[in-house]
Amino acid sequence: MITIALVDDHPLMLKILHQELSADLEFQIVWQISDIQKLISSVKANCPDVLILDLSFVGQGFEPVSAIKDLRAQHPHLKILILTAYDDPIWIEELLKAGAKGYVVKSDDFSLRIADAVRTVHQGKTFLSPSAAMGLTAAHQKYTLTERERMILRLATEGRSNPDIAAILGVANGTVRNHISNIYAKLNVDNREAAIRAAQNLRELPKPEAHQRHELRTPLHTILGLARLMQTKLQRDGQLTGADQEYLEQLILEAQRLDTMIDDWADN
């Protein structure tokens, strides 16, 4: 039995993952959360064999590279599998270096790959979905900034103050100030906005539109996941029942949400 924990900020995605993985008798879902602030305590209380982790917790004081390093240091046997809409090569390379054993991009029809991904990382091997494999090949290999400096700039893009960044990373406020000064010197800039733009141009931070692309893709992936669940049930049972009405309603709501988001994006 492989024990699994799920971390995703979208309740419907958690439901889809739970349904998909629970159908496999080799898997046991031990817990699932949508609040990233509960991640460390949940793993400490009941460490699974495989942690399936999304990255979409922007603005919630979550720095994925730092979090994965901390989890791996405290729980060496924990296998971390990233499941996300983010396909930026920078994320793929950084998170694998930090200790993640797998990376699945949700647009790679994740419901068909997630079981194989769990088994692969549980065996200590690396699993990459097709987009992740392509992204890793295209990843930037040489950096001007250090890993810690990139962590700090990623949090700075959320508008975090130096004290906030220090608290999230577990370092002194003065340490963050020193890193910021080093970043300015290396990038030949004198303010945060210029530093962020310079790092993005150097491809040391994800592209500016990465978060927007993620937000648009989230309802799309939920729609695909719900459709896959219904397709599987239809193939297995030969029919859909009244109990599946909830899935149909959720699918329609997510499609409408995506349509609205696309309109808003086009207007901007």
Q: What is the pLDDT of residues 24-51, one digit of tens each?
A: 899 999 999 999 889 999 999 999 999 9
Contact of 180 with 169, CB cutoff 8 Å: no
Measuring CA to CA, how many Å separate 181 from each of 171, 173, 177, 232, 240? Answer: 16, 13, 6, 55, 61
Residue 82: name the closest of 107, 67, 100 by CA: 100
Confidence of residue 158 (pLDDT cuts 50, 70, 90): confident
Question: Which tokens in the block code for residue 247?
Answer: 């899935």
Do 6 and 133 share a domain, yes or no? yes
Do 118 and 195 share a domain, yes or no? no
Do 248 and 163 share a domain, yes or no? no
Measuring CA to CA, how many Å separate 18 from each of 6, 69, 108, 131, 264? Answer: 8, 26, 18, 23, 31
The mean per-residue pLDDT over the stretch 170-183 comes to: 94
Do 133 and 153 share a domain, yes or no? no
Report yes or no on 142 lying in a domain: no
pLDDT at residue 89 is higher than 90: no
Predicted confidence at residue 225, as pLDDT, reads 74
Each residue's pLDDT tens digit, 11-21: 888 888 898 89
Higher pLDDT, 35 or 241: 35
Rg (CA), the chain: 19
Each residue's pLDDT tens digit, 44-80: 999 999 999 998 776 677 889 999 999 999 999 999 9
CATH number of domain containing 102: 3.40.50.2300
Predicted confidence at residue 261, as pLDDT, reads 67
Predicted confidence at residue 164, as pLDDT, reads 92
> Each residue of 64-101: b (16+ CB within 10 Å) or e?
bbbbbbbbbeeeeebbbbbbbbbbbbbbbbbbbebbbb
Report yes or no on 190 lying in a domain: yes
Do 69 and 153 share a domain, yes or no? no
Other Cβ atoms less than 10 A from the Cβ of 60: the count is 12
> How many domains does one find in the chain?
3
Backbone angles phi, psi at 31, to 5 degrees: -170, 165
Report yes or no on 19 lying in a domain: yes
- Indicate the average pLDDT of the chain: 85
Prediction pTM value? 0.74
Question: Which tokens in the block code for residue 154?
Answer: 């990623």
Report yes or no on 222 lying in a domain: yes
Do 188 and 92 share a domain, yes or no? no
Out of 88-102, 154-168, 194-208, 241-255, least confident range? 241-255
pLDDT at residue 162 is higher than 90: yes
Q: Tell me which of 156, 174, 201 is where a domain ends.
A: 201
Higher pLDDT, 191 or 244: 191
pLDDT at residue 214 is higher than 70: no
Do 122 and 92 share a domain, yes or no? yes
Confidence of residue 265 (pLDDT cuts 50, 70, 90): low
What gap in Å lies between CA 134 and CA 137, rounded to an integer? 5
Residue 197: name the closest of 30, 189, 42 by CA: 189
Domain that holds residue 259: 210-267
Predicted confidence at residue 140, as pLDDT, reads 62
Confidence of residue 263 (pLDDT cuts 50, 70, 90): low
Other Cβ atoms less than 10 A from the Cβ of 52: the count is 26
The mean per-residue pLDDT over the stretch 186-192 comes to: 94
